[in-house]
Amino acid sequence: MRALSIVGERAIEVVDKPDPEPGPGELLIAMQASAICGSDLHIYRNPRPAFIDNAITPGHEGCGVVAAVGEGVEGWAVGDRAVVYFRRTCGKCRYCITGNNHVCPNIRPGYGFAAGGSDAEFMTSDASATMRLPDDLNYREGSILACQGGTAFAPLVRLGAGGLDRIAVSGLGPVGLLATQFAIAMGAEVIGIDPVESRRNLASELGAFATLDPTAGEIGAAIKARWPDGADKLVETSGATPAHEAISSIVRPLGTVALVGLGNPIFQTSLNEITRWEITVFGSTIYPMSQWDTLCDFVRRKQIDLDAVVSEDLSLEEGARGFQLADDAASGKICFHFDR
């Protein structure tokens, strides 16, 4: 099969690899769509030896069709449409059995990070970590929802986003743009924040009440010029330290902040301000598999235009260009399609 390989720092090649075979409990997925995520860029910029040695295929936003069913798998058949949940969880712990498998502490090597990923014609996945793609969603939509769509959706659910809310979305990459769309569909008024003009323009087209450049002046003052009390809620997707430092100037007293973006691993903001104004801050990591049906149903009922966040849909052979575009951080989502 053809597969992407990270051969060095910011270097991608397309290589031939043996077709994987499904082991017991696994499915073989013939990929139809795969997409690049911010987390792939960490590997692209700073690849571990296992990637350079070609042992691991990148990609964790895979969507396709079941091509073979491993021993002992029930409920799946060849031809079923499937989405891979890349975080491989135990299925047994208190978090898994209460529908919160995204925070399972017993994770095994994740697809595209420590196990073979989706930037390839085929991949294997645990049947227990595979979700069904509804017939009315296309494969590209499946790959967008597989990771980033859910990552944008889960914090809004936890924030209880609704029609009374003024929500700031900080960072307008694919997750921020999806969060913007979702929050608006939930009834909230949204201000999008990003230094890149093209991304701000896209957020405006998606219905943002306003967009702001955080490098153009004091962001808190700019927010309060539109919302005098500040934002009720903030979804922070950039992971950038200046965005963290600005939290208490963006949200109102008793406001709530979801930290979604990863960047600087040290969270830096004024403890005095967080405490003084009783601001709630929580972390949010992808979404639980138990939310998949709700997410698909929401996208369908609200007629969310997932394609609006896609800027390129490339063949796998154009993998190097795709990663370069994503690395430039000025584009929307980069997807790969597989001509079958």
Instruction: Give me the residues that bind Zn ion (CB under 5 A), please.
Output: 37, 89-90, 93, 96, 104, 106, 147
Minimum CB separation of residue 137 from Zn ion in Å reads: 17
Nearer to Zn ion, 96 or 186 (CB): 96
Nearer of residues 104 and 131 to Zn ion, judged by Cβ: 104
Q: Is 275 helix (H, G, I), strand (E, B) or coil?
A: helix
Spatial separation of the C-alpha atoms in residues 73 and 251, rounded to whole Å: 48
Q: Nearest distance from residue 90's CB to Zn ion, in Å?
A: 4
Identify the H or E element spanning 86: none
Min dist. Cβ of residue 6 to Zn ion (A): 15
Using the minimum distance from each CB to Zn ion, give the nearer residue, 89 or 256: 89
Smallest gap, in angstroms, from Cβ of residue 251 to Zn ion? 26
Q: Which is nearer to Zn ion, 104 or 184 (CB)?
A: 104
Nearest-approach distance from CB 67 to Zn ion, in angstroms: 23
Report in angstroms the alpha-carbon separations of 79 from 76, 101, 127, 132: 9, 27, 14, 11
Beta carbons of 85 and 293 less than 8 angstroms apart: no
Cβ proximity to Zn ion: between 249 and 285 the closer is: 285
Q: In whole angstroms, what is the distance from residue 226 CA to residue 232 CA?
A: 13
What SS3 state is found at 223?
A: helix
Task: Report the distance separating Cα 262 and Cα 197, nearest Å.
Answer: 22
- In whole angstroms, the minimum distance from the beta carbon of 60 to Zn ion comes to 5
Q: Which is nearer to Zn ion, 90 or 308 (CB)?
A: 90
The residue nearest Zn ion at its CB is 37
DSSP string, 303-337: T--GGGGEEEEEEGGGHHHHHHHHHTT-S-EEEEE
Residues 307 and 90 sit within 8 Å (Cβ to Cβ): no
